[in-house]
Amino acid sequence: MTHGIICKSVNRILIGKTYWKCVILPSLLQNIGIIKFNQKEISKLQTIENGVYRKILEGRDNTPISVLRGEIGSSLMETRFIESKLLMAKSIIEGENELTKKILAKVREDRKIPGTTK
């Protein structure tokens, strides 16, 4: 579906980039802050995204990924996962739900590396 929308548009780059970033990505990445993903799954998502950027820019298979991401103005998938987790933690800390605050504190305490406490 993404390819059909991109190919039929007059401004392929603008429409493709907007459609990917505003429609597809939000639906894919909804609630990623609470779902555990491993590195292999994140890499698969990154590969899919790189393929979409190749279609948008009509790039060849040997086009460097950094060029594709630079032209589109995209961050890495792993960066999005980190950002989502940080935003979720910030939301919990600033929120009013004491139970979720206690759970977050417990999780953070369990994950502390020995010797890193203040």
- Domain that residue 27 falls in: 2-110
In a domain, residue 116? The reply is: no
In a domain, residue 24? The reply is: yes
In a domain, residue 118? The reply is: no
For the residues 15-32, what does the mean pLDDT come to? 85
In a domain, residue 115? The reply is: no
User: What tens digit of pLDDT does each residue of 57-101 get?
Assistant: 888 888 898 888 888 888 899 998 888 888 888 999 999 999 999
CB 80, CB 29: distance < 8 Å: yes
In a domain, residue 117? The reply is: no
Q: What is the pTM of this model?
A: 0.73
For the residues 9-32, what does the mean pLDDT come to? 83
**Domains: count for the chain:** 1
In a domain, residue 19? The reply is: yes
